[in-house]
Structures are given as C-alpha cells and as structure tokens.
Amino acid sequence: MKIRIKYAKTGALRYIGHLDVMRYFQKAIRRAGLDVAYSQGYSPHQLITFAAPLGIGITSEGEYFDAEMHSVTTGSDMVERLNQVMVSGMEVKDIVVLKEGAKTAMAVVAGSDYWIRIREGYVDALSFFAQAEAFFAQTEIPVVKASKTREVELDIKPFIYDWKVQDNQLYLLLSTGSVDNIKPELVLEAMCRFQGLEYQKLAFQIHRLETYMRNEDGKLVSLLKAGEEIR
C-alpha cells in the first residue's frame, strides 16, 4: 500500500537542501521502525517519492512525500513514532493511505501558497508592498526563467492565481509542478525590477503554507485529499 506523509520544515533546517531531506527521512523511517518497502536489485533503496522540492532558506508547514509500505499501523501511531526520532525544525503533521489508483504527489502537484515578509535592514516593507496592486495589475509580467541548460522568457501573470497584502506581508498562490513551476523568488525579483530596486534574496523570508493538487472539479485542494485516514 502507499501512504502520503505531510511534514513541516522550519528553523535552522530551512538551510538544508532537498537531497539531505530525502536522506534524513530515509534514516527517520528506519529509526521509527516503519515497515517501508524497498526496491529490488543490487542496491535496494526505500520506495519514497517527494512532491515539490523546497528551496534552501524557505520554511514550510505543507511538505509531502509518498512511501510504499508492506504494512501500517494507525496514522496517529506512525506520526508519533516518526516525531519521536525527529530533530527540532522537522515535524510530521499527518499521514493518510492513498486511494486505489492515486497518482504520486510529484505527478499531481498543481499549486503552492506562501506568506512573504521583508527582513529588517533591507527595503522598507510598507513602501515595497504599497506598490503591489500596481504590479499585479499589469497585463503581463515578463521574466527570464533560467534552467540548467537555457534561459526562457516567460509571462508569469497567468500562473499567479491569487495575491494579497496583509499585516505588512505578501500572500501568493502560485502554479507549482513539473510544467508551470513558478517559484516565489521569481515573483519577488519581478516586483523589485518593477520598482527599480536590486533584488536581494536575503531580504525576503518565505514560508510555504500548503501544497495543492486539483480535484475532479479543477479546484486546488490539499494533497492529503487523495488519501484516507488510517485507523
């Protein structure tokens, strides 16, 4: 059977990369004594797959990975056993068993939302966010999106699903996935350019709230909706 695990990554652990997170959970699963399945062959490995990797320096309370299991206990028991072997900054929030035929988290990811604040000592947050309405009102928001092999000019306006400024912070709901993956840093860089400012990555503290998939009606829902509570 397959399960989906939701976890939070906060504090100092926001500075470890995706590969380290994968290795961390492989060890945590072993220490917790979960009956995870392994691949066959010369170098067996745990059958786990992660959803949308989180950028270094970003905190989150809505991260996911799937795991194939030989057997399970209850969701609450497995959450407790995993959290007993966790370090500060990493916490398992929930575990569900995936419904028959459910696709992997990596395959169904469609969106993510974020709260973004500006650290002290950089640009003035009140002034910066005051221009958000004019920025998002543009008919196009062109950016240059770089990959490992090339740079592509892209209009990210259609992939910004929602935004608001509240309590001197910026909320963003963005397209996420293997095709139209819009990182919040790309939006912030465009906002800085719109205001004639130099983009400084360290000026912004980004926190991911949730990772979403689309349901049968096309609405964005939590990745947990693909599963059922394990009792």
Say yes or no: 45 and 97 in one domain. Answer: yes
What residues contact residue 39 under an 8 Å CB cut-off, 6+ apart?
Answer: 45, 46, 47
- What pLDDT was estimated at residue 163? 98
Distance from C-alpha of 119 to C-alpha of 207, rounded to nearest angstrom:
13
Say yes or no: 64 and 98 in one domain. Answer: yes
Say yes or no: 128 and 46 in one domain. Answer: no
pLDDT in tens, 52-82: 889 999 999 999 999 999 999 999 999 999 9
Say yes or no: 15 and 62 in one domain. Answer: yes
Say yes or no: 177 and 187 in one domain. Answer: yes
Cβ–Cβ under 8 Å, residues 111 and 176: yes
What residues contact residue 44 under an 8 Å CB cut-off, 6+ apart?
Answer: 38
Task: Name residues of the chain where pLDDT drops below 70.
Answer: none
- What pLDDT was estimated at residue 149? 77
Please give the residue range of the domain that contains residue 103: 2-107+220-229
- What pLDDT was estimated at residue 87? 95
Say yes or no: 35 and 59 in one domain. Answer: yes
Q: What is the pTM of this model?
A: 0.93
pLDDT in tens, 15-44: 999 999 999 999 999 999 999 999 988 889
- What pLDDT was estimated at residue 72? 96
Residue 164 CA to chain centroid, in angstroms? Answer: 19
Cβ–Cβ under 8 Å, residues 143 and 190: yes
